[in-house]
Structure 1
Amino acid sequence: MSTHAQIATAGAVCAAATVPAHDRPAGSALAAFERAHAIDPHRTAVLDDRGNSLTRAELAALSAEVATELQGRGLGAGDVVILCMPNWTEWLVVYLAVLRLRMIPATLPVTTDAKSIAYVANLVGAKAIALPVTHRGRDFRSESSTVAREFGHTLHVLLLDGDHARRSWRSFDGPAVTAPAYPADMAHILFSSSTTGKSKAIAHSEASLSAYNFGVIDRYQVTDSRPIFMPSPLGHSTGLWHGARMSLLTGATLVLQDRWKPRRALELIDSHGCGITVAATPFLKDLVDCEWDGPAPKLNTMRAFLCGGAPVPPELIERARRQMPHTFISSIWAMSEGGATSSVPGDAAELVSHTCGRVLPGVVLETIAPDGSVNPRGTEGELVMRTPSLFIGYLGQDDLYRESFTADGFFRTGDLGVVDDAGYLRLTGRLKDLIIRGGINISPVEIEYALSDHDQVAKVAVVGRPDSRLGERICAVIQPRDTPPTFEELVAWLERRGVPRRLWPESVHIVAEMPQTPAGKIRKAELKQELWREWS
């Protein structure tokens, strides 16, 4: 049996043994939507911040039209289609069309550049791509020629102009693309950056996708009674899992925001009575910092705001709780490869503020020592996990897939942390984010927690800058709110907060804007490269 098959089989056994079977819709997200459509076709399925909306009946009809067009171009079951679309209602139209034909959706944020789109298209053996005609000043009709030229194979491009009824196709001739070996039961492809700078193509089955979905749905009792708000890109794992798929599986209306504006987000949530969202830490911080003069508190209808993507400073959670008294502010920790932990409703404020929550049902989370042995509970180390939501392969990167597992079959997350006896996780850093100063490993998490609450700091990342003697020194990269804080002000702030002197930054670097992923995570690798260019 191959490594792919061995690990996939272990994951399937874990899923079958641990995912609750009661009250589960049979089949896929598409089947769940079709049942909801049959019950109430006139209910709103999805709306966006442009004012567009679709009922279930309209969504079903439009997706059927697009499916017919895909078939007319010779596309069908097992073929890969890349969705690189904004958070528009049309995203869900194309997604359902692809599912109808049992094709494989591969989802990218719309901010992905043309050459990167072509790279992942080759990586996964794509046969079609869905793009907007234009978006935020980009001419995707023109860029589709660049994608096709870089791709070098037969390619069909669906262009949507933001009007439900208006779409067009471009077809480019070339040799047939050579697809990599697909894992059995592959139902979706996500993309994530790797240490090489190239995207990883992360294959999931319907079982692995649903395992994470239902873990969250059950824990937070998500139903169709209140809409789901989603400002994270649907092309990213957060938007896919907790936006598109969760709305289809529960029948809840999906409220999308394409262009992030905190005030507009508060208005959308308030006007539509949204009940839950999952978004990265910067989204929560922006909402907390945003002025609000509504008659009710911020997020008045929202039962849970699940905050992930980066550690959530305790001070931010405390501020959010004061401004959003009816909302459970929760930490959630996961990656594109699978979901793991979240705060449990009823958790004490202290537990929410200082942990990433408790493992979801079926998840086994441990830490390992450098020699690969499993540590006793409560011991810091590299986090490894087994979970029913675990991915089933890196397409075209079999060596990387094999290297991502321990000899015992645990997936190596690359994060550092501590897991207690009750299954609660406390993150302490990332292996590749560690600052190695004079041979001593320093995690940036505690420093970032403290600096993020400074009034003059909008965003912060602590990284290592090169040093000829010590290898690296601690550098705080700051995106200021207004007037940039001085080095002396930040050091004094850390001293007052009781941060140990050994963790104080030795320099400060001011940036106008942090480089971020579409989901709001700061790209520390880019910051480090910039510092190395300036200091080397």
Structure 2
Amino acid sequence: MNPKDWSVSQTLMHAAKIYGEKEALFDLKRRMTYQELDTESGRLAAGLKELGVARGDRIGICLPNWNETVVLFFAAAKIGATLVPFNPMYRSHEIEYILENSKPHVLFISRAFEKQVSLSQAASLVHHVIAVRFKHKGMLSYSEIIDRNEKEMVREPIDVDEDVFCILYTSGTTGMPKGVMTVHRSVVQCAFTVSEEMHCNENDVFIVPAPLFHIFGITCNVMTAIASGARMILLEKYHPKTVLQLIEKEQVTVHQGVPTMFLKELDQEDFINYDLSTLRTGMVGAAPISPEQVQKIRKEMNFELCQSFGITETGSVTITRHDDDEKTITETVGRPLPGITVNIVDENRKPLPPGEVGEIAVYSFGNMKGYYQMPEKTREVLDDEGWFYTGDLGILDEKGNVRFVGRQKELIIRGGLNIYPQEIEAVLLKHPEISEAAVIGLPDDVLGERACAVIQLKPERSCTEDDIKQYVAERIATYKVPENILFSSEFPVTASGKIQKGKLKEQVLEHINA
């Protein structure tokens, strides 16, 4: 049987057979071998069955990047249940919405959960609330379930193309979050494919700062590490200095994350004092990054950083390869992974020739099954032939590489002319005083829309609005120069590090109106 046809639990089972006593996980509290991971997830699976969790039932997980989180992934997979992992930092209304929408049978929480939602409210929405790493009177704990189940659960047969492994809630920038149903094949085939393309093996050590309620953390980090027989270091909280220390101490070889993470690491005062010589490869994705930034990270961290493109609904779609030329690696997000096809389409969803800007459409084993309980929303983006329309704009070059242009919804139309925010952002990020930049469209009575740039300066640097306008005007067409320049000390971001432009726009409009 081809490993790419395995279920999630089969992937761990085979890894445990081959790498049994080898370390699989370390969350800075406890080290676990592959055999321990397989055994503990089997005992937890038996406990879940005792609690009445049946095949297809949902299991809510509101936990940080802990070993227990990974154990839960495989326990759920063994009994054919569906994971619903979500951000522990969500506010009460977001958590309540997810619980009411997905209706999980059980919910695993940390002590911090009660700061967001009352336990009585949570208990009214699920059958069992289970405490992880703390005790609460009248509440069952994770450790109790493990201790009282010495026998492992027999694995349920899984249809990898139909059975949903997880429902991941998108960070709803417009309206409430949508639950993306991701099947076993999507996660497993993607993991083995990424492992092959990045030449991963059992000697690799992954550092995992990406949250495990995000597709990037689940597939490109945890599952790719398991598929490779590698070791992984889980980070509960991201801090650039901690990452640099762990790369040196744990001899990390694979470092994957969002652009902000790498850039913060480079900005550490004592960056040059860390020994990063074990770093081999990694993937940067989930948010735009300029060619200069990619080049800087590759040069200063001295490893084969690959660019990638993917979203929750598709999993990983493209990646640059180690043998690509520098221009391809820094200026594109690479070619589609084997088994995936990408088209650039017009507003009628007809394919466009190379070199033209259009919507990125994806045909992939990784495409979602649909949005949970949202058939109309599903039909808007997933056609009958299985093509998913991302809402992202891109260009396909003659070699099949994709250049990411930006979000379709973020396109600014000024007096009938198209302005792509990412093009302006790329120019702004070359400015020596600028640390971060985001360009949004604001309503204009005459032009329809006008561009506004929100700037974060580097520490102890100064710059005026006129300085920035002049800098931009010297590098791009005049109509693209932002009419408004605002300075900010921080941006609203998602858990995966993306700037939330919808929220940023709201903040800017409130500021202007005030």
- Structure 1 length-normalised TM: 0.86
Shift of 1:113: 2.3
Contact 1:372 1:406 in 2 (8 A): no
Aligned to 2:149: none
Alignment partner for residue 38 of structure 1, among 6, 14, 17? Answer: 17
The residue aligned with 2:122 is: 147
TM-superposed deviation, 1:86: 0.4
Seq. identity, % = 27
Q: 1:200 aligns with which of 156, 178, 190?
A: 178
Question: Residue by residue, what CA displacement relative to the aligned partner does 1:198-240 show, whole Å, maximum 9, x if unpaired?
Answer: 1111112111222222221111111121111110101111101
Equivalent residues of 2:65, 2:234 under 8 A apart: yes
**Secondary structure of 1:290's match?**
coil
RMSD of equivalent CA atoms = 2.5
- Aligned 8 A contact 1:382 1:415 in 2: yes
- 1:47: which partner in 2? 26
SS at match of 2:128: strand
Does the CA contact (< 8 Å) of 1:213 and 1:241 recur in 2? yes
Residue of structure 2 equivalent to 1:180: none
Number of aligned positions between the proteins = 492
Any stretches of 5+ residues in structure 2 without a counterpart?
A: 146-160
Counterpart amino acid of 2:133?
Answer: D
Once residues 277 and 293 of structure 1 are traced to their aligned partners in structure 2, the CA distance between those partners, rounded to angstroms, is 16
Mapped to 2, the partners of 1:132 and 1:470 lie a distance apart of 51
State the AA in 1 paired with 2:400: G
Matches of 1:503 and 1:475, distance apart in 2: 10
Change (3 A) 1:440 1:147: farther
Cross-structure match for 2:80 = 102
The question of 1:310 aligning with 2:282 is answered no
Preserved contact between residue 466 and residue 535 of structure 1 (Cα < 8 Å): no
Q: Could you report, residue by residue, the CA deviation over 1:426-481 in whole angstroms, capped at 9, with x for unpaired residues? A: 11121101122223221101111121233332221110123232232211112232
* Partner residue, 1:80: 58
1:492 aligns with 2:470: yes
Q: How does 1:12-411 map to 2 (within 5 A)?
A: 24=3, 27-48=6-27, 50-134=28-112, 139=114, 143-148=118-123, 152-161=124-133, 167=142, 184-194=162-172, 196-292=174-270, 299-325=276-302, 327-338=303-314, 339-406=316-383, 409-411=386-388
The one of 502, 506, 510 equivalent to 1:525 is 502
Segment of structure 1 superposing worse, 274-283 or 451-460? 451-460
Q: In structure 2, the residue corresponding to 1:126 is in which secondary structure?
A: coil
Q: 1:168 and 1:89 mapped to 2: Cα distance?
A: 13
Shift of the alpha carbon at 1:32? 2.5
Aligned position for 1:470:
447
SS of aligned partner of 1:243: helix
- Conserved? CA contact 1:304–1:328, under 8 Å: yes
Whole-angstrom distance in 1 between the partners of 2:401 and 2:129: 46
Q: Counterpart of 2:59 in 1: which secondary structure?
A: strand
Distance 1:501 1:473 in 2: 12
Distance in 1 separating the partners of 2:344 and 2:134: 47
CA distance in 1, matches of 2:39, 2:337: 36
Give the 3-state SS of the residue equivalent to 1:193 in structure 2: coil
Cα distance in 2 for partners of 1:29, 1:353 equals 33
* Equivalent in the alignment of 1:7: none
| 8 Å Cα contact 1:114/1:146 also seen in 2 | no
Q: Which runs of 4+ in 1 moved over 6 A?
A: none
Rate the CA distance shift 1:77–1:465 in 2: closer, same or farther, 3 A.
same
CA deviations over 1:401-441 (Å, ceiling 9, x no partner): 11113576521110111112321001112110112222322
Instruction: Flag the 1:321–1:162 CA change in 2: closer, same or farther, 3 A.
Output: farther
CA distance in 1, matches of 2:298, 2:126: 53
Residues 63 and 69 of structure 2 are in contact (CA less than 8 Å); yes or no, is this contact kept in structure 1? yes
Question: Which secondary structure does the structure 2 equivalent of 1:207 belong to?
Answer: helix
1:156-196 deviations in Å (ceiling 9; x for gaps): 11221279x964799xxxxxxxxxxxx94222212213463
Q: 1:239 to 1:115 in 2, by over 3 A?
A: same
Query: Which residue of structure 1 lines up, in the alignment, with residue 155 of structure 2?
Result: none
Q: Verify: 1:419 aligned to 2:396, yes or no.
A: yes
| Equivalent pair of 2:265/2:271 in contact (CA under 8 Å) | no
> Which residue identity does 2:131 align to in structure 1?
L
User: In the aligned structure 2, how far is the partner of 1:142 from the partner of 1:197?
Assistant: 21
- 1:509 counterpart residue number: 486
My pick for the range that moved more, 441-450 or 90-99, is: 90-99
Structure 1 residues 84 and 417: alpha-carbon distance in aligned structure 2, compared to 1, 3 A threshold = same
Q: Distance in 2 between the 1:436 and 1:228 partners?
A: 42
Distance 1:58 1:407 in 2: 43
Is the Cα–Cα contact under 8 Å of residues 242 and 277 in structure 1 kept in the other structure? no
2:120 maps to amino acid? S
> Comparing 55-64 with 113-122, which one deviates more in the overlay?
55-64
Any gaps of 5 or more consecutive residues in structure 1? 1-20, 171-182
